Structure 1
């Protein structure tokens, strides 16, 4: 049978693969810019720093990750992304001057859509926390309140860094609460993570216009102190096996944290320009993953620590395409 002349091709039968292909081709494609705009708004590379909070909290509580931990990770991710979206919504007027390329001032995402997304993500996060258990919900509620308070009121006040630090600390406690264990063993790891977060937040406050070396120097000192707290004590003779490997994992993760965060902070302290401050903030965000892994290893869960640290290269690779700050 000879092919039909051009323009007189037979119509495909309803339900045939040709019909489905034609319908798919007829649908308007979602603009790539829209998907990228939402990726920028949500700061997707930074989301890989979130699961480690729950894993470190679960390890600190002496539990193994299970279904409640998975639900808590989902809740943590939703609340984190709600904060990212709400952050840009609250700063849209300021960003129109300092960061006109951001999704909201550039018009690629509408403010109403961003605010709706923040509310929806918050509700989803609380719902997932409720599924993880009453204790998890009891931590997720103040966590969500802290996120909204920071973005809408506290960010540009002296209490801003402390509020951001509190949110990270609560996020780690969410892992312990989801495990159904007492929160007390997780308080020191939560404080350690909060201290790192506070230091990075102090640097981020001047990342658009530059500033003095005080903030990066403070963050550098905090990084050194956190690293010292993560390193194991002097080695003791031990039989080969998992117990002997634990200090090595903890040391490697602690030094990975130091290597990721310290050098960019030193550069920013020597020359606190916007570019170098932004690099220091990005490095501080990525270093959070190694910190979480080291905290898990210090709590006796080296496998969870290594699993957490494996997210760092993914975040770094994605950060080349979408800025985490």
Structure 2
């Protein structure tokens, strides 16, 4: 069981929940119902995300030995070779599931997504701006995978919003060890407000639908903006870490708002359940939890 927990920690298992809604948001924008084999696509996202996390620790094993010696690789619980193997297997599984869930049109987006993930972890991540943009492109491509190559234009707004939020979270995450800056945290907090406004501004349809989008967008902002403001006021490492975690968790209500914007109540309901599951997992005693960042 300890071995299983080590691998769950390697892939940041709790954070995997925050990627399940990407393809739901993209599929909703493209007019796809959450039915049939399309229910497999969130699992494709989960595998690709988990593979990226394993690859991240493989690439960071030298830095983690100095800054995070408790991580699975530097602590000796998982070898670098096994971490790389896990990353490879999960990536291939994600690509296979993308084809199974969305056919060749989803696979046509899944392949560049996998390439972008590996490029980020092995090449781009050490550069602040380009690394954040690369990470944002990974999230945007994940949303587009839900739409499929034949409906990319319809899903571009949702992809841009999720990608923009991811860029902001990535910029903040660079301060988890040595602290961030007031300018960075303030800009991220302002960006949260702009993204929430963009979701609401792009909504249409019946009054109840617009109100639901507004509520989900407000929940998104309430989930992450307070921690971002605190980081702006006191940009120490602990504040940056808490703001990063809040930004990761806020992805689920943001995805829900994007699905509601296109009237996909089923997808929004699934995301509400996923969000509740995440809250339950975080409420467990600290000794039994697995890190998400």
What TM-score, normalized by structure 1, do the two folds share? Answer: 0.84
Partner Cα separation in structure 1 for residue 282 and residue 71 of structure 2: 16
1:224 aligns with 2:193: yes
Partner Cα separation in structure 2 for residue 101 and residue 311 of structure 1: 28
**Aligned-partner SS, 2:250:** helix
Q: Tell me the residue number matched to 1:263.
A: 226
Asked if 2 retains the 8 angstrom alpha-carbon contact of 1:165 and 1:195, the reply is yes
**Aligned-partner SS, 2:8:** helix
Greater Rg by CA: 1
Q: Tell me the residue number matched to 1:176.
A: 147
**Aligned-partner SS, 1:80:** helix
Q: Tell me the residue number matched to 1:318.
A: 281
1:129 aligns with 2:92: no
- TM-superposed deviation, 1:218: 1.3
- TM-superposed deviation, 1:211: 2.8
CA RMSD, aligned part only? 1.8
Asked if 2 retains the 8 angstrom alpha-carbon contact of 1:250 and 1:302, the reply is no
1:53 aligns with 2:16: no
Q: Tell me the residue number matched to 2:120.
A: 150
- Pick one of 140, 148, 158 that aligns with 2:110: 140
What TM-score, normalized by structure 2, do the two folds share? Answer: 0.93
Asked if 1 retains the 8 angstrom alpha-carbon contact of 2:203 and 2:262, the reply is no
1:276 aligns with 2:244: no
- TM-superposed deviation, 1:58: 0.7
1:88 aligns with 2:57: yes
Partner Cα separation in structure 1 for residue 85 and residue 213 of structure 2: 41
Moved over 3 A (4+): 232-235
- Pick one of 93, 102, 113 that aligns with 2:71: 102
Q: How many residues align structurally?
A: 286
Partner Cα separation in structure 1 for residue 146 and residue 250 of structure 2: 20
Q: Residues 273 and 313 of structure 1: is their aligned pair in 2 closer, same or farther, counting only changes over 3 Å?
A: farther
5+ residue gaps, structure 2, are: 284-288
Q: Tell me the residue number matched to 1:116.
A: 85
Asked if 2 retains the 8 angstrom alpha-carbon contact of 1:57 and 1:186, the reply is yes
Q: Deviations over 1:5-31 (max 9, x none)?
A: xxxxxxxxxxxxxxxxxxxxxxxxx4x
Asked if 1 retains the 8 angstrom alpha-carbon contact of 2:183 and 2:232, the reply is yes
